[in-house]
């Protein structure tokens, strides 16, 4: 989110500085692991759809500007029982916004996507526009555009203090830097609670484990055959996965259900039991995957109580913009978030319909206009 905001502000001609505590495209936050699902028939809420349509246009535009593979449309399956939130919510968003989609029964899923073994009573919403984006490349692309357009960016320069008053912001860094600006965007991922000053958002950080399995045969998992998927299992457990990117391994995980942690306390060592839980869930559904684990990685979700993002003006300080709580589904939005954050920082508002993301909803005594 930070690199996208930096690129947008620089392109619009503003004088802008990005401060990052680690290196460019590091693997210690929430935006690593090679791929992120992108889709339009959004089961989480139809209000995201206009933002998604803009995000798709911006991903395509970004792909024209930098020589990096950023977005791949593989098609996507949202699977579950007909009454599941994943299926119902996807249909609702697709119907409300007139998005192209198909509802497939179990026989049709098996015929068209043989790697998937749904039960007879399971269905799927298939969306041809779904696919994945590449988070590390996306960050580098945004940084490249930002720097080319005149932005400044400092890495390994942690921010230690943000003080806002009377239309000015003073930002201090560990290295002793002091920067004065008219506005600051606080886009801190899992570290958000630390710098939000006298106002604390109710955020929780959840550990997530990514697993790459090496199947005996890779053919069923090539992107021409294997769509991205989210599968809602009984008990509202979700597993998801992405076709092979390296012609050898297939990434997948459980969505949520992770241990609560903090950004600084995150244990990056993955225990065998964590992987086993994922294998137990995925193997009956996609048996061709096998059980040979190639590698794992730990990542973090920063969750709000309702699972929707917290994006808007800080309720106490009109100088500060907050972009937090992306709740495990934010990355696909990053280019449009760049525009939204740039609007908020320069205009104090945006034409994008983001009222439902208003961070003030968590502090009703200080509701903020979005
Ligand atoms: C395993 C996993 C799978 C996911 N799958 C999907 C998916 O399929 N589709 C999807 O859309 N989303 C997905 N997400 C969610 C998505 O990746 C996140 O919502 C998104 O990356 C969050 O971006 P961010 O900019 O808020 O956080 P980050 O990328 O973590 O960026 C915050 C940055 O702020 C820096 N920072 C923090 N504090 C300071 C400080 N004091 N000084 C300087 N710098 C600081 C951090 O170092 C970090 O670089 C997934 C996330 C995970 C972990």
Q: Using CA atoms, how far apart are residues 332 and 274, in angstroms rounded to an integer?
A: 26
Average pLDDT over residues 230-251: 98
pLDDT for residue 197: 60
The rounded Å distance from CA 325 to ligand 1 centre is 9
Average pLDDT over residues 22-36: 96
Q: Are strands 131-133 and 36-38 parallel, antiparallel or unpaired?
A: antiparallel
Assess whether pLDDT exceeds 50 at residue 162: yes
Average pLDDT over residues 162-178: 96
Q: Kindly report the average pLDDT of the chain as a whole number.
A: 96
**Using one digit for the tens of pLDDT, what is the confidence trace for 325-343?**
999 999 999 999 999 999 9
Assess whether pLDDT exceeds 90 at residue 198: no
The rounded Å distance from CA 294 to ligand 1 centre is 24
pLDDT for residue 200: 80
The rounded Å distance from CA 365 to ligand 1 centre is 29
Residue 86's Cβ-count burial label (10 Å; 0-12, 13-18, 19+) is buried
Q: Using CA atoms, how far apart are residues 299 and 28, in angstroms rounded to an integer?
A: 7
Q: pTM of this prediction? A: 0.97
Q: Which is more confidently placed, 367 or 206?
A: 206
**Residue 363 binned pLDDT confidence (cut-offs 50, 70, 90):** confident
Assess whether pLDDT exceeds 60 at residue 109: yes
Q: Which is more confidently placed, 240 or 366?
A: 240
pLDDT for residue 370: 44
By mean pLDDT, which of 139-143, 182-186, 366-370 is the weakest? Answer: 366-370
The rounded Å distance from CA 316 to ligand 1 centre is 25
Region of residue 147 (left: phi > 0; alpha: psi -120 to 50; beta: else): alpha
Residue to substitute in 29, 158, 228 for testing ligand 1 pocket (most ligand atoms within 8 angstroms of CB): 29
123 strand-pairing partners: 80, 105
Q: Using CA atoms, how far apart are residues 117 and 22, in angstroms rounded to an integer?
A: 42
pLDDT for residue 365: 66
**Residue 199 binned pLDDT confidence (cut-offs 50, 70, 90):** confident
Q: Cβ distance 157 to 19 under 8 Å?
A: yes
Average pLDDT over residues 344-365: 93
Distances (CA, A) of 292 to 53, 160, 214, 255: 37, 43, 5, 21
C-alpha dihedral sign at 235, 233, 95, 55 = positive
Q: Using CA atoms, how far apart are residues 344 and 312, in angstroms rounded to an integer?
A: 7
pLDDT for residue 194: 77
Average pLDDT over residues 246-251: 98
The rounded Å distance from CA 247 to ligand 1 centre is 26
Cβ < 6 Å from ligand 1: which residues?
1-2, 19-22, 29-31, 33, 36-37, 158-159, 187-191, 195, 208, 210, 253, 299-301, 326, 328-332
């Amino acid at each position: 989110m930070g690199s996208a905001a930096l690129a947008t502000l620089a392109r619009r001609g503003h004088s802008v500085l990005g401060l990052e505590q680690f290196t460019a495209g590091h693997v210690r936050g929430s935006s690593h692991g090679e791929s992120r699902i992108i889709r339009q028939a959004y089961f989480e809420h139809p209000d995201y759809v206009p933002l998604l349509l803009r995000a798709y246009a911006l991903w395509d535009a970004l792909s024209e500007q930098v020589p990096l593979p950023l977005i791949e449309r593989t098609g996507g399956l949202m699977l579950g029982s007909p009454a599941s939130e994943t299926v119902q919510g996807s249909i609702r968003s697709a119907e409300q916004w007139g998005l192209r989609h198909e509802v497939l029964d179990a026989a049709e899923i098996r015929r068209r996507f043989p790697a998937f073994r749904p039960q007879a009573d399971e269905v799927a919403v298939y969306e041809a526009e779904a696919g994945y984006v590449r988070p590390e490349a996306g960050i580098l692309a945004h940084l490249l555009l930002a720097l080319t357009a005149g932005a400044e960016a400092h890495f390994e320069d942690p921010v230690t203090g943000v003080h806002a008053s009377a239309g000015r912001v003073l930002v201090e860094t560990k290295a002793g830097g002091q920067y004065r600006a008219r506005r600051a965007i606080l886009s801190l991922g899992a570290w958000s609670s630390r710098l939000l000053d006298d106002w604390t958002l109710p955020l929780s950080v959840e550990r997530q484990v990514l697993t790459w399995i090496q199947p005996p045969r890779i053919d069923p998992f090539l992107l021409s055959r294997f769509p991205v998927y989210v599968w809602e299992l009984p008990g509202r457990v979700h597993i998801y996965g992405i076709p092979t990117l390296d012609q050898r391994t297939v990434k997948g995980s459980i969505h949520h259900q992770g241990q609560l942690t903090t950004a600084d306390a995150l244990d990056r060592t993955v225990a065998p039991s964590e992987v086993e839980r994922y294998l137990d869930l995925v193997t009956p559904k996609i048996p061709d995957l096998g059980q040979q684990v190639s590698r794992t990685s730990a990542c973090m979700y920063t969750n709000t109580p309702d699972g929707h993002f917290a994006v808007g003006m800080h309720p106490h300080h009109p100088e500060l913009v907050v972009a937090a709580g992306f709740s495990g589904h934010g990355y696909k939005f990053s280019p449009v978030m760049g525009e939204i954050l740039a609007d908020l920082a320069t205009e104090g508002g945006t034409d994008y319909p983001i009222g439902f993301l208003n961070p003030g909803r968590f502090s009703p005594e200080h509701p903020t206009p979005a």
